[in-house]
């Protein structure tokens, strides 16, 4: 496959290294804009600007299957326009929703297709936040996106509570979601912690999976023949997340299958973000 990477030189070179190990990639072209792509089978768009969805739509209209690598977009109207255009053009769209694309998460989603319960807690050292307001929102949006994607059911009840010292200093948020299929999810984010901690837990009737997110290690709890809870372990390399995400995208094109985080997934998340922010507005 010929793959084009659109973006600034520094980032495109870094992503070229993630593509090179894959045998299905025969050629990589680094270009500054969609119009420079030429004949390629797929493209990666590295663009965190406010107009990145316009760039993605341009790529779709040009007939390119595209992987947008940026913070999660939330503009419902633009996402729906991209979704329709991709369906009409027969091209694939993938978004860089890293909680879903992470190797450990992919393994967990294969092991438990629809968890009965998900609990996510993330404690963030305040000194690591450069732009607290936007980073705080990005953090809970990312975790919400994983819950919506993984449980894959309508949400009929949302509880949302956030605490702020003032308009520039978010402290915490607690989300509780109840889904139409009976599953539930809880998300707790705290941004004034002394230490960074990040854990995702998912359970079904058969097993419990406990993921230490920074080191991508999963504790796997299952009942043995005697009815005792037995724990195993599965470990993944966090450094391979980008490489694996690119491979997922290229495989979806090869196999003509749904991408790991599609335009449909992005639309569903954007709709739930809107509902959460409406709930948060009730208590502000």
Q: Is residue 279 part of a domain?
A: no
pLDDT tens-place string over residues 239-281: 999 999 999 999 999 999 999 999 999 999 999 999 999 999 8
DSSP label at residue 276: H
Residue linked to tokens 């299957």: 65
Q: Is residue 54 part of a domain?
A: yes
Residue linked to tokens 């196999």: 255
**Does 190 lie in the same domain as 126?**
yes
Q: Is residue 144 part of a domain?
A: yes
**Does 37 lie in the same domain as 14?**
yes
The whole-model pTM stands at 0.94
**Does 81 lie in the same domain as 123?**
no
**Does 180 lie in the same domain as 211?**
yes
Domain residues for the domain of 91 are 2-97+242-261
**Does 257 lie in the same domain as 223?**
no
Cα–Cα distance measured from residue 9 to residue 5, given in angstroms and rounded to the nearest whole number: 10
Per-residue tokens: 92: 């694939």
Q: Are the beta carbons of 3 and 66 closer than 8 angstroms?
A: no
CA atoms within 13 A on the CB side of 192: 9
Whether 160 shows a pLDDT value over 80: the answer reads yes
For position 146, which CATH number holds? 3.30.360.10
Q: Is residue 278 part of a domain?
A: no
Whether 20 shows a pLDDT value over 70: the answer reads yes
DSSP label at residue 283: T
pLDDT tens-place string over residues 55-71: 999 999 999 999 999 99
The pLDDT of residue 225 is 84
For position 80, which CATH number holds? 3.40.50.720
């Amino acid at each position: 496959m010929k793959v084009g990477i659109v973006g600034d030189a520094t980032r495109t070179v870094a992503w070229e290294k993630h593509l090179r190990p894959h045998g299905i990639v025969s050629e990589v072209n680094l270009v500054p804009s969609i119009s420079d792509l030429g004949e390629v089978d797929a493209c990666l768009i590295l663009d965190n600007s406010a107009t990145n969805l316009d760039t993605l739509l341009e790529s779709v209209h040009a007939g390119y299957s595209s992987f947008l690598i940026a913070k999660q977009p939330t503009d419902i109207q633009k996402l729906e326009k991209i979704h329709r255009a991709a369906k009409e053009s027969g091209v694939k769209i993938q978004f860089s929703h890293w909680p879903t694309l992470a190797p450990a998460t992919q393994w967990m989603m294969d092991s438990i297709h629809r968890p009965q319960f998900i609990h996510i807690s993330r404690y963030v050292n305040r000194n690591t936040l450069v732009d607290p307001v936007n980073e705080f929102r990005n953090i809970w949006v990312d975790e919400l996106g994983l819950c919506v994607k993984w449980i894959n059911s309508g949400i009929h009840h949302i509880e949302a509570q956030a605490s702020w010292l003032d308009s520039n200093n978010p402290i915490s948020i607690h989300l509780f979601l109840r889904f139409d299929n009976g599953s539930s999810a809880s998300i707790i984010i705290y941004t004034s912690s002394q230490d960074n901690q990040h854990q995702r837990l998912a359970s079904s009737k058969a097993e419990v999976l406990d993921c230490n997110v920074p080191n991508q290690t999963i504790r796997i709890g299952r009942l043995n023949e005697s009815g005792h809870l037995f724990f195993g372990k599965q470990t993944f390399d966090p450094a391979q997340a980008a490489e694996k995400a690119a491979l997922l995208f290229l495989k979806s094109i090869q196999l003509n299958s749904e991408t790991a985080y599609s335009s449909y997934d992005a639309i569903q998340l954007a709709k739930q973000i809107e509902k959460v922010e409406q709930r948060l507005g009730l208590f502000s």
